[in-house]
Protein backbone atom coordinates (compact mmCIF):
# COMPACT_ATOMS: atom_id res chain seq x y z
CA UNK A 1 0.00 0.00 0.00
CA UNK A 2 1.58 3.27 -1.11
CA UNK A 3 1.49 6.01 1.52
CA UNK A 4 1.21 9.68 0.65
CA UNK A 5 4.46 11.42 1.54
CA UNK A 6 2.84 13.94 3.86
CA UNK A 7 1.51 11.12 6.04
CA UNK A 8 4.88 9.49 6.65
CA UNK A 9 5.37 10.95 10.16
CA UNK A 10 2.08 9.29 11.13
CA UNK A 11 1.68 6.16 8.98
CA UNK A 12 4.11 3.30 8.58
CA UNK A 13 5.78 1.07 7.99
CA UNK A 14 8.86 3.24 7.96
CA UNK A 15 11.36 2.28 5.26
CA UNK A 16 15.10 2.70 5.74
CA UNK A 17 17.57 1.83 2.98
CA UNK A 18 20.89 0.14 3.67
CA UNK A 19 22.83 1.11 0.55
CA UNK A 20 26.27 0.12 -0.56
CA UNK A 21 28.23 -1.65 -3.30
CA UNK A 22 28.84 -5.38 -3.43
CA UNK A 23 30.88 -6.78 -0.54
CA UNK A 24 30.53 -3.61 1.52
CA UNK A 25 28.80 -5.37 4.42
CA UNK A 26 25.17 -4.52 3.65
CA UNK A 27 23.82 -7.90 4.71
CA UNK A 28 26.09 -8.07 7.75
CA UNK A 29 24.76 -4.71 8.88
CA UNK A 30 21.15 -5.73 8.22
CA UNK A 31 21.62 -8.87 10.30
CA UNK A 32 22.71 -6.79 13.27
CA UNK A 33 20.04 -4.13 12.80
CA UNK A 34 17.26 -6.71 12.63
CA UNK A 35 18.37 -8.38 15.86
CA UNK A 36 18.86 -5.11 17.73
CA UNK A 37 15.58 -3.49 16.62
CA UNK A 38 13.51 -6.63 17.27
CA UNK A 39 15.04 -6.67 20.76
CA UNK A 40 13.54 -3.20 21.24
CA UNK A 41 10.05 -4.60 20.70
CA UNK A 42 9.60 -3.40 17.10
CA UNK A 43 8.58 -5.60 14.19
CA UNK A 44 11.21 -5.48 11.45
CA UNK A 45 10.95 -6.74 7.87
CA UNK A 46 13.79 -7.23 5.38
CA UNK A 47 13.49 -6.44 1.67
CA UNK A 48 15.99 -7.20 -1.08
CA UNK A 49 15.71 -7.40 -4.85
CA UNK A 50 18.02 -9.88 -6.52
CA UNK A 51 18.72 -11.00 -10.07
CA UNK A 52 19.46 -14.54 -8.88
CA UNK A 53 16.93 -17.37 -8.79
CA UNK A 54 15.83 -18.41 -5.32
CA UNK A 55 17.29 -21.64 -4.05
CA UNK A 56 14.18 -23.80 -4.04
CA UNK A 57 15.03 -27.38 -3.06
CA UNK A 58 15.01 -29.95 -5.87
CA UNK A 59 12.24 -31.88 -4.18
CA UNK A 60 8.45 -31.85 -4.29
CA UNK A 61 8.17 -28.10 -3.65
CA UNK A 62 10.62 -27.30 -6.44
CA UNK A 63 8.77 -29.47 -8.94
CA UNK A 64 5.44 -27.93 -7.94
CA UNK A 65 6.80 -24.40 -8.35
CA UNK A 66 7.99 -25.20 -11.87
CA UNK A 67 4.35 -25.96 -12.76
CA UNK A 68 3.44 -22.33 -12.13
CA UNK A 69 1.10 -22.11 -9.11
CA UNK A 70 -0.23 -18.66 -8.22
CA UNK A 71 1.19 -19.06 -4.71
CA UNK A 72 2.92 -21.66 -2.60
CA UNK A 73 3.19 -21.90 1.19
CA UNK A 74 5.80 -24.09 2.85
CA UNK A 75 5.66 -24.63 6.57
CA UNK A 76 8.92 -25.86 8.09
CA UNK A 77 9.96 -26.18 11.72
CA UNK A 78 11.79 -22.83 11.68
CA UNK A 79 9.59 -20.70 9.41
CA UNK A 80 6.57 -20.35 7.16
CA UNK A 81 7.51 -19.37 3.62
CA UNK A 82 5.13 -17.78 1.14
CA UNK A 83 6.34 -17.89 -2.47
CA UNK A 84 4.68 -15.73 -5.12
CA UNK A 85 5.45 -14.95 -8.76
CA UNK A 86 8.02 -12.13 -8.95
CA UNK A 87 5.65 -9.36 -10.02
CA UNK A 88 6.90 -5.79 -10.31
CA UNK A 89 10.26 -4.65 -8.92
CA UNK A 90 8.98 -1.35 -7.54
CA UNK A 91 9.43 -0.86 -3.83
CA UNK A 92 5.78 0.11 -3.36
CA UNK A 93 4.56 -3.15 -4.90
CA UNK A 94 6.96 -5.19 -2.77
CA UNK A 95 6.04 -3.35 0.43
CA UNK A 96 2.41 -4.31 -0.20
CA UNK A 97 3.41 -7.98 0.21
CA UNK A 98 4.29 -7.62 3.88
CA UNK A 99 1.68 -8.53 6.52
CA UNK A 100 0.03 -5.76 8.56
CA UNK A 101 1.76 -4.57 11.71
CA UNK A 102 5.34 -4.30 10.45
CA UNK A 103 7.00 -1.24 12.04
CA UNK A 104 10.17 -0.92 9.99
CA UNK A 105 11.38 -2.27 6.65
CA UNK A 106 15.10 -2.51 5.98
CA UNK A 107 15.65 -2.25 2.23
CA UNK A 108 19.03 -3.62 1.21
CA UNK A 109 19.96 -1.97 -2.08
CA UNK A 110 22.85 -0.77 -4.20
CA UNK A 111 20.78 1.94 -5.96
CA UNK A 112 19.47 5.13 -4.39
CA UNK A 113 15.79 5.12 -3.35
CA UNK A 114 13.58 7.95 -2.03
CA UNK A 115 13.82 6.79 1.58
CA UNK A 116 16.10 7.66 4.52
CA UNK A 117 19.36 5.84 3.92
CA UNK A 118 22.17 4.31 5.90
CA UNK A 119 25.04 4.67 3.43
CA UNK A 120 28.27 2.76 3.04
CA UNK A 121 31.44 4.84 3.48
CA UNK A 122 32.48 3.57 0.04
CA UNK A 123 29.78 5.68 -1.67
CA UNK A 124 28.98 9.36 -1.97
CA UNK A 125 25.35 10.42 -1.42
CA UNK A 126 23.20 10.65 -4.53
CA UNK A 127 21.52 13.94 -5.36
CA UNK A 128 18.69 14.51 -2.88
CA UNK A 129 19.45 11.36 -0.88
CA UNK A 130 18.66 11.68 2.83
CA UNK A 131 21.55 10.03 4.67
CA UNK A 132 20.76 9.26 8.31
CA UNK A 133 23.90 7.24 9.04
CA UNK A 134 27.11 5.77 7.60
CA UNK A 135 28.94 2.53 8.18
CA UNK A 136 32.30 0.97 7.36
CA UNK A 137 32.82 -2.74 6.83
CA UNK A 138 35.77 -2.74 9.22
CA UNK A 139 33.78 -1.22 12.11
CA UNK A 140 30.24 -2.41 11.34
CA UNK A 141 29.65 -3.79 14.85
CA UNK A 142 30.64 -0.61 16.64
CA UNK A 143 28.31 1.58 14.62
CA UNK A 144 25.14 -0.47 15.17
CA UNK A 145 23.79 1.28 18.32
CA UNK A 146 23.81 4.70 16.67
CA UNK A 147 22.28 3.37 13.47
CA UNK A 148 19.52 1.65 15.44
CA UNK A 149 18.58 4.97 17.03
CA UNK A 150 18.64 6.69 13.63
CA UNK A 151 16.30 4.05 12.19
CA UNK A 152 13.91 4.10 15.15
CA UNK A 153 13.65 7.88 14.89
CA UNK A 154 11.84 7.37 11.56
CA UNK A 155 8.96 5.44 13.15
CA UNK A 156 5.57 7.11 13.69
CA UNK A 157 5.41 8.48 17.22
CA UNK A 158 1.95 7.01 17.96
CA UNK A 159 1.81 3.33 17.04
CA UNK A 160 -1.91 2.98 17.80
CA UNK A 161 -2.73 5.85 15.46
CA UNK A 162 -0.35 4.42 12.87
CA UNK A 163 -2.00 0.99 12.82
CA UNK A 164 -5.49 2.50 12.88
CA UNK A 165 -4.71 4.72 9.90
CA UNK A 166 -3.30 1.77 7.97
CA UNK A 167 -6.50 -0.21 8.59
CA UNK A 168 -8.62 2.77 7.51
CA UNK A 169 -6.56 3.23 4.35
CA UNK A 170 -6.98 -0.44 3.40
CA UNK A 171 -10.75 -0.16 3.89
CA UNK A 172 -10.86 3.06 1.85
CA UNK A 173 -8.80 1.82 -1.09
CA UNK A 174 -5.62 3.69 0.01
CA UNK A 175 -7.28 7.05 -0.74
CA UNK A 176 -6.25 9.58 1.92
CA UNK A 177 -8.66 12.39 2.71
CA UNK A 178 -9.37 14.63 5.65
CA UNK A 179 -12.63 12.80 6.41
CA UNK A 180 -10.85 9.45 6.67
CA UNK A 181 -8.25 10.88 9.05
CA UNK A 182 -10.94 12.52 11.17
CA UNK A 183 -12.99 9.32 11.27
CA UNK A 184 -9.93 7.40 12.43
CA UNK A 185 -9.28 9.86 15.23
CA UNK A 186 -12.97 9.89 16.22
CA UNK A 187 -13.12 6.08 16.42
CA UNK A 188 -9.97 5.88 18.55
CA UNK A 189 -11.21 8.64 20.85
CA UNK A 190 -14.64 7.09 21.34
CA UNK A 191 -13.23 3.66 22.13
CA UNK A 192 -10.65 5.14 24.51
CA UNK A 193 -13.28 7.14 26.41
CA UNK A 194 -15.30 3.95 26.95
CA UNK A 195 -12.21 1.87 27.70
CA UNK A 196 -13.06 -0.68 25.00
CA UNK A 197 -10.20 -2.29 23.07
CA UNK A 198 -10.52 -2.03 19.32
CA UNK A 199 -10.90 -3.62 16.88
CA UNK A 200 -13.66 -5.39 18.80
CA UNK A 201 -14.51 -8.90 17.66
CA UNK A 202 -16.76 -9.86 20.60
CA UNK A 203 -19.79 -7.70 19.75
CA UNK A 204 -19.18 -5.71 22.91
CA UNK A 205 -19.15 -2.42 21.03
CA UNK A 206 -22.06 -1.09 18.98
CA UNK A 207 -21.61 2.13 17.00
CA UNK A 208 -24.23 4.38 15.44
CA UNK A 209 -22.78 6.79 12.87
CA UNK A 210 -24.48 9.95 11.64
CA UNK A 211 -22.88 10.33 8.22
CA UNK A 212 -22.51 8.23 5.08
CA UNK A 213 -19.19 9.72 3.96
CA UNK A 214 -15.52 8.72 4.16
CA UNK A 215 -15.35 8.72 7.95
CA UNK A 216 -17.62 5.66 8.06
CA UNK A 217 -14.95 3.51 6.39
CA UNK A 218 -12.45 4.59 9.03
CA UNK A 219 -14.84 3.95 11.92
CA UNK A 220 -15.57 0.45 10.58
CA UNK A 221 -11.89 -0.36 10.10
CA UNK A 222 -10.80 0.91 13.51
CA UNK A 223 -13.65 -0.41 15.68
CA UNK A 224 -14.28 -3.69 13.86
CA UNK A 225 -18.02 -2.89 13.91
CA UNK A 226 -19.97 -3.79 10.78
CA UNK A 227 -23.55 -3.33 9.56
CA UNK A 228 -23.60 -7.03 8.62
CA UNK A 229 -22.74 -7.95 12.21
CA UNK A 230 -25.42 -5.55 13.45
CA UNK A 231 -22.78 -3.75 15.49
CA UNK A 232 -22.95 -0.63 13.31
CA UNK A 233 -26.01 1.40 12.40
CA UNK A 234 -26.16 4.25 9.90
CA UNK A 235 -28.40 7.21 10.65
CA UNK A 236 -27.49 9.67 7.92
CA UNK A 237 -27.99 13.03 9.60
CA UNK A 238 -25.11 14.54 7.62
CA UNK A 239 -23.08 15.03 10.82
CA UNK A 240 -19.61 13.74 11.54
CA UNK A 241 -20.57 12.12 14.82
CA UNK A 242 -20.98 8.64 16.29
CA UNK A 243 -22.44 7.06 19.40
CA UNK A 244 -20.38 4.29 20.99
CA UNK A 245 -22.27 1.78 23.15
CA UNK A 246 -20.50 -0.64 25.49
CA UNK A 247 -23.03 -3.47 25.81
CA UNK A 248 -21.11 -5.19 28.57
CA UNK A 249 -21.01 -2.20 30.89
CA UNK A 250 -24.24 -0.52 29.78
CA UNK A 251 -22.49 2.78 29.04
CA UNK A 252 -22.57 4.99 25.95
CA UNK A 253 -21.07 8.24 24.70
CA UNK A 254 -21.62 10.39 21.63
CA UNK A 255 -18.54 11.93 20.00
CA UNK A 256 -18.91 14.73 17.43
CA UNK A 257 -16.48 16.85 15.43
CA UNK A 258 -16.43 20.47 16.57
CA UNK A 259 -18.44 22.81 14.41
CA UNK A 260 -15.57 25.23 13.79
CA UNK A 261 -13.03 22.48 13.20
CA UNK A 262 -12.51 23.07 9.47
CA UNK A 263 -11.59 26.72 10.02
CA UNK A 264 -9.32 25.90 12.98
CA UNK A 265 -7.46 23.30 10.94
CA UNK A 266 -7.00 25.56 7.93
CA UNK A 267 -5.78 28.40 10.14
CA UNK A 268 -2.82 26.29 11.28
CA UNK A 269 -1.33 26.71 7.81
CA UNK A 270 0.40 23.31 7.69
CA UNK A 271 0.16 23.24 3.87
CA UNK A 272 -0.79 25.60 1.06
CA UNK A 273 -3.52 23.32 -0.23
CA UNK A 274 -6.61 23.64 1.96
CA UNK A 275 -7.46 19.94 1.96
CA UNK A 276 -3.91 18.87 2.81
CA UNK A 277 -3.74 21.51 5.55
CA UNK A 278 -6.90 20.09 7.11
CA UNK A 279 -5.66 16.52 6.81
CA UNK A 280 -2.36 17.28 8.51
CA UNK A 281 -4.03 19.38 11.20
CA UNK A 282 -6.45 16.55 12.04
CA UNK A 283 -3.44 14.28 12.53
CA UNK A 284 -1.55 16.71 14.73
CA UNK A 285 -4.32 18.21 16.90
CA UNK A 286 -5.22 16.75 20.30
CA UNK A 287 -8.46 14.78 20.46
CA UNK A 288 -9.93 17.40 22.80
CA UNK A 289 -9.38 20.03 20.11
CA UNK A 290 -11.08 17.90 17.49
CA UNK A 291 -14.15 16.58 19.26
CA UNK A 292 -16.91 17.23 21.75
CA UNK A 293 -18.39 14.31 23.64
CA UNK A 294 -21.28 13.68 25.99
CA UNK A 295 -22.99 10.72 27.71
CA UNK A 296 -25.63 8.96 25.60
CA UNK A 297 -28.44 6.45 26.03
CA UNK A 298 -27.01 2.92 26.08
CA UNK A 299 -30.33 1.19 25.45
CA UNK A 300 -30.68 -0.75 22.20
CA UNK A 301 -34.10 -1.76 20.92
CA UNK A 302 -34.61 -5.53 20.83
CA UNK A 303 -34.94 -5.56 17.04
CA UNK A 304 -31.63 -3.69 16.66
CA UNK A 305 -29.54 -6.01 18.84
CA UNK A 306 -26.74 -8.11 17.33
CA UNK A 307 -27.53 -11.77 16.89
CA UNK A 308 -30.17 -13.79 15.01
CA UNK A 309 -33.45 -12.16 13.95
CA UNK A 310 -35.97 -11.83 16.79
CA UNK A 311 -38.96 -12.10 14.45
CA UNK A 312 -39.73 -13.01 10.84
CA UNK A 313 -42.98 -12.42 8.98
CA UNK A 314 -44.09 -12.76 5.36
CA UNK A 315 -45.27 -9.65 3.56
CA UNK A 316 -49.00 -9.93 2.84
CA UNK A 317 -48.48 -8.36 -0.59
CA UNK A 318 -45.23 -9.65 -2.14
CA UNK A 319 -44.76 -12.73 0.05
CA UNK A 320 -41.13 -11.94 0.85
CA UNK A 321 -39.73 -12.40 4.35
CA UNK A 322 -39.33 -9.36 6.60
CA UNK A 323 -37.05 -9.59 9.67
CA UNK A 324 -36.69 -7.76 12.95
CA UNK A 325 -39.91 -5.80 13.16
CA UNK A 326 -39.40 -3.88 9.94
CA UNK A 327 -42.89 -4.81 8.72
CA UNK A 328 -45.74 -2.27 8.69
CA UNK A 329 -49.33 -3.20 9.68
CA UNK A 330 -51.89 -2.50 6.93
CA UNK A 331 -55.56 -3.36 6.43
CA UNK A 332 -54.51 -6.33 4.31
CA UNK A 333 -51.94 -7.54 6.88
CA UNK A 334 -48.30 -6.95 7.72
CA UNK A 335 -46.37 -5.66 4.72
CA UNK A 336 -42.78 -4.79 3.94
CA UNK A 337 -42.12 -1.07 3.77
CA UNK A 338 -42.05 -0.78 -0.05
CA UNK A 339 -45.37 -2.59 -0.35
CA UNK A 340 -46.97 -0.60 2.48
CA UNK A 341 -45.80 2.62 0.84
CA UNK A 342 -47.19 1.50 -2.54
CA UNK A 343 -50.56 0.76 -0.93
CA UNK A 344 -50.57 4.18 0.73
CA UNK A 345 -49.70 5.99 -2.51
CA UNK A 346 -52.39 4.03 -4.40
CA UNK A 347 -55.05 5.00 -1.88
CA UNK A 348 -54.01 8.64 -1.90
CA UNK A 349 -54.18 8.64 -5.71
CA UNK A 350 -57.64 7.08 -5.69
CA UNK A 351 -58.80 9.65 -3.14
CA UNK A 352 -57.74 12.47 -5.44
The string of pLDDT tens digits covering residues 199-242 is: 999 999 999 999 999 999 999 999 999 999 999 999 999 999 99
When mean pLDDT is compared across 210-214, 320-324, 341-345, the lowest value belongs to: 341-345
For residue 52, what pLDDT is reported? 81
Provide the β-strand partners of residue 205.
Answer: 246
Contact 151, 253 (CB under 8 A): no
Distance separating alpha carbons of residues 164 and 170, to the nearest angstrom: 10
Contact 234, 212 (CB under 8 A): yes
Give the mean pLDDT of 289-299. 97
| Alpha-carbon torsion angle 3, 162, 295, 220, nearest 10 | 50
| Alpha-carbon torsion angle 312, 318, 320, 324, nearest 10 | -30
Give the mean pLDDT of 183-188. 98
When mean pLDDT is compared across 5-19, 36-50, 68-82, 113-127, the lowest value belongs to: 5-19
Which uninterrupted H or E stretch holds 343?
helix 337-351
Contact 190, 205 (CB under 8 A): no
Give buried/exposed letters for 152-178 (b at 16+ CB in 10 A, else e): bebbbeeeebbbbbbbbbebbeeebbb
Instruction: Look at residue 3 and tell me whether its pLDDT is greater than 60.
Output: no
Nearest to 329 by CA among 321, 173, 339, 320: 339
Which 8-state DSSP code applies to residue 99?
Answer: P
For residue 345, what pLDDT is reported? 80
For residue 187, what pLDDT is reported? 98
Contact 255, 245 (CB under 8 A): no
For residue 352, what pLDDT is reported? 59
Which 8-state DSSP code applies to residue 135?
Answer: E
Instruction: Look at residue 24 and tell me whether its pLDDT is greater than 90.
Output: yes
Question: Can you spell out the DSSP letters for 179-204?
Answer: HHHHHHHHHHHHHHHHT--SS--SS-
Instruction: Look at residue 5 and tell me whether its pLDDT is greater than 60.
Output: no
For residue 6, what pLDDT is reported? 58
For residue 329, what pLDDT is reported? 94
- In whole numbers, what is the pLDDT of the chain averaged over residues? 93
For residue 54, what pLDDT is reported? 80
Instruction: Look at residue 346 and tell me whether its pLDDT is greater than 60.
Output: yes
Question: Can you spell out the DSSP letters for 12-71?
Answer: --EEEEEE--TTSSHHHHHHHHHHHHHTTT--EEEEE--SSPP---TTHHHHHHHT--S-
For residue 4, what pLDDT is reported? 56
Cis peptide before 191 (omega within 30 of 0): no
CB neighbour list of residue 326: distance below 8 Å, 6 or more residues apart: 303, 336, 337
Amino acid sequence: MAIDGSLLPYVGPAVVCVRGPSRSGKTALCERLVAAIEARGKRVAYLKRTHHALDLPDKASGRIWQRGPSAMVLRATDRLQLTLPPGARTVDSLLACFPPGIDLVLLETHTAEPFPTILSDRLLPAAGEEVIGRWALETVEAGVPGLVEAALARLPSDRNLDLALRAALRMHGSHVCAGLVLGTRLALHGAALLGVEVPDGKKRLVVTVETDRCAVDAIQAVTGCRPGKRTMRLLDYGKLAATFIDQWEGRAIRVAARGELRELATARGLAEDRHEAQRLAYLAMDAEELFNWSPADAAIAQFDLPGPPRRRVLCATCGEEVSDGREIPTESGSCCRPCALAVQVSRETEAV
